[in-house]
């Protein structure tokens, strides 16, 4: 296990470096960032001054070397829009996205696995058909349309959930971690917890729709395959209860593909749920990125994209490490291939 862990950690470095290089190139391939920020009517002196300030007057290799040096020191530059260090902006906005993503993936994983297990156990029955129709609808419905429907119907019209932001204006909560539900629990404030959780429910449910649908289909397919294996028939022949056979034997051996789907979507959502955050006015990484793009904020866009890509790579690394713990065959295959 030690060699497997070390190999994954070593491979992480070139992957992350490649991602950082891609972000560096993509931002500069979109045109002159300075002209995009100040517009065509700015004086040549102002353009030259800003280009020198951002280091864009140097050759591309020199810019890249400076970019890597700044990353090594944790310096992402200063935002043209907020006049603050980009790293401080990301520290303020990222916890909101993290909190939203955690709840959304909790809903998606719990709901998707429950539907998938029910569909697999009652294969070709009405439960199976209903689960598959639900999953198909979840994958097909546009997220932005569902977000608008939830916002207008359940939020503004019915008033079942608060909308806009992370807390009501009347709630006073001093953040500790940036995760408002956790902060409310740490401070022993149930009213603030209820308010923060209420603001989370609608965007989290909308965000969970697509992952839940895919988890449902993957759980059903993986569990049906496991239920047809010889070891499951042996367990049933020994007189084990059906629940024990399904949960302790079949489901346990079906977790690898489910974990892959959950990890992939967790990484994607953690990188910023742009549409959902924009519709609900959620002050997270996705909304920060949209605002930065609209204002042509070169440094902020670069920092946000880098954080999105990094979170996705890190989550995939963690999923790879979990493979080794859940399935010994992964470790054994690596040892045999050495």
Is residue 204 one of the residues assigned to a domain? Answer: yes
User: What is the pLDDT, as a whole number, of residue 115?
Assistant: 93
333 pLDDT above the threshold of 60 = no
Number of domains in the chain: 1
- The whole domain housing 178 covers 86-337
Look at residue 304 and tell me if it is in a domain.
Answer: yes
Residue 247 to residue 275: CA distance in whole angstroms: 36
Query: Which ranges of 30-43 would DSSP assign to H, the alpha helix?
Result: 33-38
Residue 48 lies in a domain: no
Does residue 108 fall inside a structural domain?
A: yes
Q: What percent of the chain has pLDDT over 90?
A: 22
1 confidence band (pLDDT: 50, 70, 90): low
| Residue 74 falls inside a structural domain | no
Give the residue from 238, 301, 277, 317 showing the smallest Cα distance to 90: 301
- 260: domain CATH number? 1.10.3720.10
Residue 27 within a domain = no
For residue 203, being part of any structural domain is answered with yes
Q: Which residues of 257-274 are buried (b: 16+ CB within 10 A; e: fewer)?
A: ebbbbbbbbbbbbbbbbb
Which of 143-157, 185-199, 276-290, 313-327 is predicted with the least confidence, judged by mean pLDDT? 313-327
Q: Report the C-alpha gap between 33 and 301 in whole angstroms.
A: 10
> What integer pLDDT is reported at residue 220 of this predicted model?
92
Task: Kindly state whether residue 80 falls inside one of the protein's structural domains.
Answer: no
Q: What is the pTM of this model?
A: 0.84
């Amino acid at each position: 296990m030690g060699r497997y862990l070390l190999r994954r950690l070593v491979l992480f470095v070139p992957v992350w470096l490649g991602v950082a290089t891609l972000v560096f190139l993509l931002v500069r391939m979109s045109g002159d960032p300075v002209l995009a920020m100040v517009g065509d009517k700015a004086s040549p002196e102002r353009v030259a001054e800003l280009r020198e300030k951002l280091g864009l007057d140097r050759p591309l290799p020199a810019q890249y070397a400076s970019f890597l040096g700044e990353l090594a020191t944790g310096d992402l530059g200063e935002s043209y829009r907020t006049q603050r260090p980009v790293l401080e902006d990301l520290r303020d906005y990222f916890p909101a996205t993290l909190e939203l993503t955690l709840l959304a993936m909790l809903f998606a994983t719990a709901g998707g696995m429950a539907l998938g297990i029910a569909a697999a156990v009652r294969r070709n029955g009405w439960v199976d058909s209903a689960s598959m129709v639900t999953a198909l609808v979840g994958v097909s419905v546009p997220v932005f349309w569902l977000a608008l429907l939830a916002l207008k119907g359940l939020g503004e019209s019915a008033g079942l959930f608060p909308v806009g932001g992370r807390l009501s204006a009347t709630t006073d909560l001093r953040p500790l971690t940036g995760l408002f539900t956790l902060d409310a629990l740490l401070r022993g404030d149930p009213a603030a917890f209820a308010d923060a959780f209420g603001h989370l429910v609608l965007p989290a449910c909308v965000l969970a729709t697509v992952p839940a649908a895919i988890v449902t289909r993957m759980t059903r397919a993986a569990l049906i395959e496991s239920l047809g294996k010889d070891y499951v028939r042996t367990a049933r022949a020994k007189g084990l209860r059906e629940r024990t056979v399904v949960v302790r034997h079949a489901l346990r051996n079906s977790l690898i593909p489910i974990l892959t789907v959950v990890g992939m979507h967790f990484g994607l959502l953690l990188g910023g749920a742009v549409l959902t955050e924009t519709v609900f006015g959620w002050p997270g990484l996705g909304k920060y990125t949209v605002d930065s793009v609209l204002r042509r904020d070169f440094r902020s866009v670069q920092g946000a994209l880098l954080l999105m890509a990094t979170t996705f790579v890190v989550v995939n690394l963690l999923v790879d490490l979990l493979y080794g713990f859940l399935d010994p065959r992964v470790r054994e295959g690596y040892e045999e291939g050495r």
